[in-house]
Structure 1
Amino acid sequence: MTLHRIRNLREQFSTAGIDGLLVSSMSNIRYLTGFASDERDVATVLIGATEAFLLTDYRFGEQAREQCGEVQIIVRDRARQTLGQLVRELAAQCDIRQLGYERDHFLHGRWLNLAADLDTIAVKPLRGLVEKLRRRKEPAELESMRRAAAIGDRALEQLLGLLQPGITEREAAVELECLLKRAGSEGLAFPTIFTSGARTSRPHGMPSDRVLSRGDLITIDFGAIVDGYRSDMTRTFVLGKADSKQREIYELVRRAQALGVESLRTGIPYSQPNATVNRFLAACPYAEYAGDSLGHGLGLDTHEQPYLSTGFEELLEEDHVVTVEPGIYIPGWGGVRIEDDVRLTGSGPELLNNFSRELIEL
């Protein structure tokens, strides 16, 4: 099922000036081979012109043989052979003379140890070769992402009945995480963000022991995982009746988010929807408190290429999936963010999650 991805990757070798690639990102390894692990550095993939190898050790050999049907599995004896020695041996076997490696994914110390054994091979640091392939989602990937988004919708709906004065942010976050797993999520797409009151001004605020009170803004940013693919949704609520400022700012963010989704079209630069939303928010009374990036790519990683931000001039394409998440964050008062997962199609954007975007008073 992944052999075509390896073929697509090889087509980039000539342009990149290499005849082999060493892959260390666990997300990229999963994409290319099917091998899945939450631990880093437990496998490495070497791809040559005609052969592909997954290198691991005795702890993961059985799993690799079960999950990876289209690459050769080599279980290295770590006591007798370093990873670099094995790579050098295989590179010679495959006549690899210019070896690329993922500069953004090797820890510095690990790369130094590896490179010390590759003295006979020219190595070249590269970035983004596999990530560019991952941008365009295949039908099975999209289906997994829809299922992850649906799990998030359902879990959040169930959580709302539990949110009441007296419960802490941390207790509420734990409840949500349990609901996600009971609904079928393989884990958490990322550590749950749950803030309340003035703490909602922190875009990535972690749950605390703060007790929820009437009148609080509540921001929840979370995601589910299905087949390794992630969802990422944010909603902001008010516990009790919203005051006029809360309503005003919520409506501004809701309109900005809708504008961001509507602005997504194939064939335009990724920076363009971000610029459109920035112009809208720049004209509002809270312009100085608006976030400066509209969203990011989503898939096997929560944050992956491409990015809806200034300077990202590559073009939106069909079946790319991005988040759209404008926000206004006012220190000492609070903040509002609304975030959805959106697939690009030839006829316009497709929202993967369906939870209400209207202001909900709990």
Structure 2
Amino acid sequence: MTAVNKTRLKKILNELAGRGLEQMVITDPAAIFYLTGSRIDSGERLLALYIKISGCFLMINRLFPAPADPDIHVVPYDDTQDAAKILAGLTDNTRALGVDRNMCSWVLLRLMELGAASGYVNASVCADAVRQCKDEEEAGRMRRASHLNDRAMEEAARALRAGISETELAEETARIFRRLGADGISFEPIVAFGANAAEGHHVPDGTVLRPGDCAILDIGCIKDGYCSDMTRTFFLGEVSDRLREIYALVKRANEAARSVIRPGVPMSRIDEEARRIIRAAGYGEYFNHRLGHFIGIEVHEAGDVSAANNTPAASGMTFSIEPGIYLPGIGGVRIEDLVLVTETGCETLNAFSREITVL
């Protein structure tokens, strides 16, 4: 996609209108990619998409290629120019201006100094609300990224052996993704062996895998601009009764949460469905994070599956379901899948087995 997606733009403009706004400046590169199909990393330089009813105006430094699209009015500038002043010349200073939460403070302060608008409103929710529900093209990209993740997990699991370190496996995982044709990794792989698996977001280190250890692999890639994310827990040689017990609980929690997902069901209800199973078994305090996060162009997008979020599920939403139990000094288990909400339920994007695996 290398042109303005008019359907997406119209939806965001409708969200703006619903909040009494007529204009917005988007500086989040992911949101700009969502609307224009152009992935631009401008570093410290201002990249801004100014949208209003009459169209799109993309401010871009001449160092970077601009999309060739008649529906995007490109406003180029040089390093020696005052980019914020140029942007202020585009806006309607008699109206409130929506800005996104990614806007650098130096840009916002300069716009305020120049009187670029009558007021300034955090309007990120206008783009976030639209991005939460994927269209068919996006759903296809999410499926392809998750399919690559399934294949990478299979290869990474085969690399598990006594003596391999967490760092070595993390590096091997990145190489696996490249071999499989991924565009990159969506986050640094989380690899945790033995007692380290009690840390939900352990940073891989020199710890080596030993017989009897659990091994958490939380990995993801980028394909065609969209992210995947999946976690599986493996065991080397043998598995203790305690870890076998919590594995079965986490698996049940994952299945239970996915079984209730359908349009209209609040995120908090989905979270509770998984949490009650773990809590009833006496491990509630050891499930110490939200059940999931939204995902798409970014691995963590606006929205989550937690007790604090009563937003109802809607067709097209994609988010993770990742219950876990983490026992300090012993180890942990997490089983994570991505789901796509459908008209009648949900589609699980990961096909990799959730059965207990002892290597």
Same topology, TM > 0.5: yes
Shift of 1:119: 5.0
Shift of 1:15: 2.4
Amino acid at match of 1:309: S
Change (3 A) 1:122 1:285: closer
> Which whole-Å deviations, capped at 9, do the CAs of 1:231-285 have from their partners, x for residues lacking one?
1100010011112111111111011111111121111111111112222211113
Q: Distance in 2 between matches of 1:73 and 1:308?
A: 38
Secondary structure (helix, strand or coil) at the match of 1:22 reads: strand
Shift of 1:328: 0.4
* Structure 1 residue runs without a partner (length 5+): none
Shift of 1:109: 3.6
Secondary structure (helix, strand or coil) at the match of 1:159 reads: helix
Q: Distance in 1 between matches of 2:331 and 2:275?
A: 20
Partner of 1:21: 24
Change (3 A) 1:115 1:147: same
Change (3 A) 1:352 1:83: same
State how many pairs are aligned: 355
Partner of 1:83: 83
Amino acid at match of 1:166: G
Partner of 1:65: 67
Partner of 1:198: 195
Partner of 2:54: 50
Amino acid at match of 1:25: D
TM-score (norm 2): 0.94
> Which whole-Å deviations, capped at 9, do the CAs of 1:164-212 have from their partners, x for residues lacking one?
1111100111101110111111111111111101000111111101111
Secondary structure (helix, strand or coil) at the match of 1:328 reads: strand
Q: 1:145 aligns with which of 128, 135, 142?
A: 142
Q: Distance in 1 between matches of 2:242 and 2:158?
A: 25
Contact 1:99–1:124 (8 Å) recurs in 2: yes
> Which whole-Å deviations, capped at 9, do the CAs of 1:29-60 have from their partners, x for residues lacking one?
11111121355555210012212111110221
Amino acid at match of 1:242: V
After TM superposition, the structure 1 = structure 2 runs for residues 200-349 of structure 1, keeping only pairs within 5 Å, are 200-349=197-346
Contact 1:24–1:41 (8 Å) recurs in 2: no
Q: Distance in 2 between matches of 1:35 and 1:41?
A: 18
Secondary structure (helix, strand or coil) at the match of 2:49 reads: strand
Q: Distance in 1 between matches of 2:44 and 2:274?
A: 39
Change (3 A) 1:114 1:187: farther
Q: Distance in 2 between matches of 1:266 and 1:356?
A: 26
Q: Distance in 2 between matches of 1:121 and 1:238?
A: 60
Q: Identify the range of structure 1 (44-53 vs 286-295) with the bigger mean alpha-carbon deviation.
A: 286-295
Q: Distance in 1 between matches of 2:193 and 2:106?
A: 41
Q: 1:187 aligns with which of 171, 184, 187?
A: 184
- For the pair 1:4 / 2:7, whether they are aligned, the reply is yes
> Which whole-Å deviations, capped at 9, do the CAs of 1:93-134 have from their partners, x for residues lacking one?
xx76221111x2123344323433335643223331101000
Q: CA RMSD in A?
A: 1.7
Q: Distance in 1 between matches of 2:348 and 2:248?
A: 19
Contact 2:267–2:311 (8 Å) recurs in 1: yes
Contact 2:191–2:203 (8 Å) recurs in 1: yes
Q: 1:36 aligns with which of 27, 39, 55?
A: 39
Q: 1:156 aligns with which of 153, 156, 160?
A: 153
Q: Distance in 2 between matches of 1:331 and 1:276?
A: 24
Change (3 A) 1:241 1:20: same
Contact 1:52–1:71 (8 Å) recurs in 2: yes
Partner of 2:99: 101
* Structure 2 residue runs without a partner (length 5+): none
Contact 1:20–1:98 (8 Å) recurs in 2: yes
Amino acid at match of 2:159: L
Shift of 1:301: 1.1
> Which whole-Å deviations, capped at 9, do the CAs of 1:291-312 have from their partners, x for residues lacking one?
3411111101111133111121
Q: Distance in 2 between matches of 1:305 and 1:271?
A: 15
Amino acid at match of 1:218: A
Secondary structure (helix, strand or coil) at the match of 2:25 reads: strand
Q: Distance in 2 between matches of 1:222 and 1:96?
A: 48
Contact 2:95–2:119 (8 Å) recurs in 1: yes
Contact 1:256–1:280 (8 Å) recurs in 2: yes
> Which whole-Å deviations, capped at 9, do the CAs of 1:44-103 have from their partners, x for residues lacking one?
10012212111110221x2x225x5531112112313x12211121125xx76221111x
Q: Distance in 1 between matches of 2:263 and 2:302?
A: 16
Q: Distance in 1 between matches of 2:180 and 2:116?
A: 51
Change (3 A) 1:45 1:265: same
Secondary structure (helix, strand or coil) at the match of 1:11 reads: helix
Q: Distance in 2 between matches of 1:12 and 1:26?
A: 19
Amino acid at match of 1:4: T
